Amino acid sequence: MNYNDYFAQSLNTLKEEGNYRTFAELERRCGSFPQASHHAEETQKPVTIWCSNDYLGMGQHEAVIGAMHDALDRCGAGAGGTRNISGTTHDHVLLEAELADLHGKEDALLFTSGYVSNWAALGTLAGRIPNCLVLSDALNHASMIEGIRHSKAERMIWNHNDLIDLEAKLAAQPLDRPKLIAFESVYSMDGDIAPIKEICDLADRYNAMTYLDEVHAVGLYGPRGGGIAEREGLMDRLTVIEGTLGKAFGVVGGYIAASADLCDFVRSFASGFIFTTALPPAVAAGAAASVRHLKASSAEREAHQQRVAEVRARLDLLGIPHEPNPSHIIPVMVGCPVKCKYISDLLMRDHGIYIQPINYPTVPKGTERLRITPSPVHSAEDIDRLIGVLGDLWAQCELARMPMAAQ
């Protein structure tokens, strides 16, 4: 077998299907985000980013930047080791205390990313609790799926947000069998929200633990940014709340918040925690500053919701189809991988607007989309330009419109 020929053939197949992914080389402009520079073919062009997970623009907030500068001057660049061997700094401890307080839990445990936190925590909990059954929502993130798979525990997939299917699977098990229900609050591609209360009710009835991924909700929802569970007054009913520092908090890292014993259990047994270098102290300090700020300030959340509502309303006026949902994520539906990439390429090349096409396998074939994430730092002029260009491209590509389109 010629290995390189196999690699090339596989990549060509992706390209022919319209599913080959290219990276936009960007240089974010601190103080003027979502404006950035796009580096391509030895040139730089200005672009406006409309698909960032820095949902609130906290990656450039003065409190975050200042805390990182201070920690860099105090501590230097790196943590110097794993958390177990010289890498637990005072900034890590302070951040974990902030996160535990945010979610009303006894403790929190910090990881290098949201992906790792899911992989390590789910893999450890499900793998080490004897005879544990994991009930996983059908649309859970890849990191959750990989963590569950890594655990080698028995798993059942329940239909997305389907309480009837979940209860049927729970009821078929012995009441005393250990069970873990794994699900998300806001699902990142469709933007829909889980029925958290009802899932907790089922967990109580059938003696199950709950594991809630809030990565697309922390910072954005709830009086202090604790997520959907905080907004709905349910944090105390969840066994584990998992979140990220790389989206609304604007930095990088992941975490779980839970009881002190559960966090200590994961800390003591999770290879994904034990054997990796700790986050730099400056990152931990910046994340803690972001969490503290958003606990006290609702201005960013309110402005964010206003921008989202405005973009949705403007899309409706033009009849550009977008998935209706109660969250901040706006999936503009194209339904064709080739046209989806074509529109994305034209937006970047001709109009300086960057929206990454979302194709298979991230979403099912036939549901290709442009995933738009408005933020408080998008201006009225940014919105005007985005909507105008999308309207022109929708006509150019002869894509269907919704019936409420303005004539």
Res 178: pLDDT? 98
What is the C-alpha to C-alpha distance for residues 200 and 240, in angstroms, rounded to an integer? 12
What is the C-alpha to C-alpha distance for residues 214 and 211, in angstroms, rounded to an integer? 10
Cβ contact 141:188 at 8 Å: yes
CA distances from 361 to 74, 115, 184, 213, 365 (A): 44, 17, 19, 21, 8
Query: What does each of the 407 residues of the chain score in pLDDT, given as a tens digit?
Result: 899 999 999 999 998 887 888 899 999 999 999 999 999 888 899 999 999 999 999 999 999 999 999 999 999 999 999 999 999 999 999 999 999 999 999 999 999 999 999 999 999 999 999 999 999 999 999 999 999 999 999 999 999 999 999 999 999 999 999 999 999 999 999 999 999 999 999 999 999 999 999 999 999 999 999 999 999 999 999 999 999 999 999 999 999 999 999 999 999 999 999 999 999 999 999 999 999 999 999 999 999 999 999 999 999 999 999 999 999 999 999 999 989 999 999 999 999 999 999 988 889 999 999 999 999 999 999 999 999 999 999 988 878 787 654 44
The whole-angstrom distance between residue 1's C-alpha and the CA centroid of its chain comes to 39
Residue type, 214: E
The whole-angstrom distance between residue 202's C-alpha and the CA centroid of its chain comes to 26
Residue type, 75: C
Instruction: Name the token pair of 264.
Output: 């200590």
CA distances from 299 to 183, 199, 219 (A): 29, 31, 12
How many beta carbons lie within 10 A of that of residue 7, not counting itself? 10
Cβ contact 166:181 at 8 Å: yes
CA distances from 126 to 42, 155, 182 (A): 49, 9, 10
End-to-end Cα, the chain, rounded Å: 59
Report the predicted TM-score, pTM, of the whole model to 2 decimal places: 0.95
Q: Which positions are catalytic?
A: 247
Instruction: Name the token pair of 200.
Output: 């907790």
Cβ contact 100:291 at 8 Å: no
Residue type, 137: D
Res 406: pLDDT? 45
What is the C-alpha to C-alpha distance for residues 274 and 97, in angstroms, rounded to an integer? 19
Res 172: pLDDT? 98
Starting at the edge strand that comes first in sequence, how are the strands of the sheet with 369-372 ordered?
330-333, 369-372, 357-358
